[in-house]
A and B are shown apart, each in its own frame.
Chain A
Amino acid sequence: MSGVEQAPPVNMSPQRGAGTHSVSDALSAILRRYGLQAGTVMMAVILWIIFAVGSSETWLHRDIYASLMSTVPVTQSGIIALTLTLVVIAGEIDLSFGSVMAVGTWVFMSCPQPELGLVAAIAAGLGVGLLNGFIVVRFGIPSLVATIGTWFFWGGIVIVGTGSVGAGTGFASGFVTNLLTGRIFGYVPAEMPWMLTFAFLLWVLLNRHRFGAHVYLVGDNDQSARMMGVRSDRVRMGVFALNGAAAAFAGISSTLEAHYFWPTVGSGAMLPTVAAVFLGGTSIFGGRGTIFGTFVAAFVIGAIEPGIISIGLTGFYTQVIYGAVIVIALIVQAAVRGRAER
């Protein structure tokens, strides 16, 4: 470091007229950094305006927001979308989380003591996630196929283990149920502060911790990262473990919200969750993505169905609109990225 200062004047880049372009330079730098996030917010606002115009009695009333705040974080697995964002930034994908939700919930239901069950379930989710990571890292199997395999496997284990028989969650009524699904001031579902907590902690982890820095590096260029001493295998196992733990948490929370444990809990979670991650601007090729983008996108995905129904279309349109929103958003993202790259 001390020697660096003595370096000879090496004229690097052609001196672009200092000052004249600085404003546009600064603007394009901001666009490059925050363009995708701004785009995600804009998409949310546009959809909201459409829904609010189409059905003001729904969207200008607070009930719909109370509903979204309970469904988006866990039933639509917004919390998992947040941890899945880290997995995708690291250049991997996890499709098994739906079954991990069921595994976690099953463990929770099997524990006579709900507080202990909660801890055990999250530990189980963590363990299954680690195993996913281990399979990917140790055997070099692409995570896309590896986690399809474990999705079937764990889903099947729960079906076998429960005999496909559900159960009520009455035993857990009290502290744990209130903790995960209570209503704050009788209005805000506890799922919402939980999702905010997850978002905040994951943001810190991703942007202000060495682990997060390594997540970006591994996803961007694994070979470079390894060369520079990043323990890529550990990083990747870490993101899978996080995703597993979040899945167990979301499974329990959505089960407590429904007051009934379905052994198939989480079976419908896969696509909306994955869609939220990509809609939020996370690159499928790894190395790029934000917690903020996924957070907003999870609510967009969660709002589409009630939005469509509230403006008077039948629920049949849901998939059409899902598809259209996702495809259009990805096209816009690709365009924004192409620009930023120049």
Chain B
Amino acid sequence: MSESITELPAQPSPLLQLDGVSKWFGEVRALEDAHLVVGRNEIVGLLGDNGAGKSTMIKIVTGFHRPDRGTITWKGQRLEHLSVQRARDLGIETVYQERALADQQSLWRNIFMGRERTTRLGLLDVGGMRDETEKLMVDFLRFTSQAVTPESTVGSMSGGERQGVAIARALHFEAELIILDEPTMGLSVTETRKTLDFVRGIKAAGKSCIFIDHNIFNVHEVADRVVVIDRGHTAGEFKTSEISVTDLIGRMQHLAETGSLDGGAPAKAAT
């Protein structure tokens, strides 16, 4: 599954690498000496308690926060002064559940939100955008119902479908790294399944993803590798092919109790 990507001194440089990243908010330390590697075409699950530093880490990756210390490397190139705009230009796209779509607008207007295509006259290329949306619907979204057209409003779709639209949009605009922050929050079981299928779609499309979810089962299911953040540190990481979900849960519990991922967990899982 995960080729040579996760070996740390990676030969083909990883897509994204955070090294020794620290971030303080006044007196509060959000991250200290944290590390994160995202390989090419890899899905990385981020696990950690509330306040562990996941959001801060994501906001550093998307250029929203600037780290106080440490380096960000993108495809082997060190990034100084990463801004939100620069991150987007590089192909880092965040998909927030509630902040992604405009509900009363049509599917095609959502897909092309903020990046509308125009003709030479400077007018919207409505036909072109509709056709492009239709293609996405067939190829990626697999909307099969006749009732759904590029003119359908996004508000009439289910939670999972909406996640799909946001992910399809990111892929359509050549995002290299898609960050999903709690994409299954508040979704029913069926809708969660749909969302996880779309996350697999990112992998199939040859792109990478950072997947944050409170549900360890979801993370273990779709991620190639899980990175555990605890109190601002990177506590450890596991390839999901090498650890069972029970074992992972045991270790997370052990971490919560002792502050360390190692030891105890297998025994706990066994009992």
A-side interface residues toward B, CB under 8 Å?
1, 3-16, 18-19, 21-22, 25, 28-29, 32-33, 204, 207-210, 213-214, 216-217, 220-221, 223-225, 227-230, 283, 287-288, 341-342
Contacts and interface: CB of A to CB of B under 8 A. Distances in A.
Interface SS, B side: loop
A217 B103 contact: no
21 contacts: A4-B140, A10-B142, A11-B142, A12-B143, A29-B149, A29-B152, A33-B151, A207-B124, A208-B123, A208-B126, A214-B114, A216-B105, A217-B105, A224-B100, A224-B102, A229-B115, A283-B104, A287-B102, A287-B103, A288-B104, A341-B155
Given A6-B206, A224-B113, A216 B102 contact: yes
Contacts of B144: 11-13, 15, 18
B141 A12 contact: yes
Interface stretch (B4-12, B20-28, B194-202, B238-246): B194-202
Contact of B103 (A9, A25, A221, A228): A221
Interface size grouping (class) on chain B? 35 or more
B228 interface: no
A219 to B, nearest CB: 9
A14 B190 CA distance: 11
Contacts of A225: 102, 113-114
Looking at B112, B126, B144, B149, which has the most chain A CB atoms within 10 Å of its CB?
B144
Looking at A22, A216, A220, A341, which has the most chain B CB atoms within 10 Å of its CB?
A220
Q: Which 10 A-B pairs have the closest CB atoms?
A: A228-B114, A3-B205, A220-B102, A229-B114, A10-B197, A25-B147, A7-B201, A287-B104, A228-B113, A12-B142
B146 A7 contact: no
Contact of A12 (B88, B103, B164): B164
A232 to B, nearest CB: 10
A17 to B, nearest CB: 9
Contacts of B200: 8, 10
Interface stretch (B167-175, B209-217, B257-265): B167-175
A208 B124 contact: yes
B146 A22 contact: yes
A21 B102 contact: no
Nearest to B124: A208
Contacts of A228: 113-115
B59 to A, nearest CB: 13
A8 B199 CA distance: 11
B148 A13 contact: yes
Given A217-B102, A217-B114, A287-B104, A13 B145 contact: yes
A33 B148 CA distance: 13
A23 to B, nearest CB: 10
A241 B101 CA distance: 27
A283 B104 CA distance: 11
B156 interface: yes
Interface string B1-39: 000000000000000000000000000000000000000
Given A7-B205, A224-B101, 9 more contacts: A1-B173, A6-B205, A7-B140, A12-B144, A15-B144, A210-B116, A213-B112, A221-B99, A227-B100
B77 interface: no
Contacts of A16: 145-147
